[in-house]
Amino acid sequence: MSKVFNYFSEAFEELKSNVTWPEWSEVQRLTIVVALFSVVFALATWGVDELFSKAIEGFFNWIKS
């Protein structure tokens, strides 16, 4: 148990003293960039899914007739 406590204690000390944290304004800006990219990527994925869905549906309807 002592090793686990020591690990977390050292990890916390590393985060506190050796990590360079970004400014709050940069965090906000990058959060907006990530959110916008996520929305764009989700819409692109949805669009490709719809395109392939329609293509496969059309292909099977063409085979049935």
10 belongs to a structural domain: no
Number of C-beta neighbours around residue 27 at 10 A: 11
Q: Does position 8 have pLDDT exceeding 90, yes or no?
A: yes
Total number of domains constituting the chain: 1
Tell me, yes or no, whether 52 lies in a domain.
yes
Domain that holds residue 52: 22-65
Residue 61 is predicted with a pLDDT of 94
Residue 14 in any domain: the answer is no
- pLDDT at residue 11 is higher than 80: yes
Q: Is the pLDDT of residue 65 over 80?
A: no
Q: How far apart are the first and last CA of the chain?
A: 70
Residue 13 inside a domain? The answer is no
Residue 45 domain-assigned (yes or no): yes
Q: Is 6 contained in some domain?
A: no
CA angle 12, 27, 21 (to 5 degrees): 35
Q: Is residue 8 part of a domain?
A: no
Considering the entire predicted model, what is its pTM? 0.64
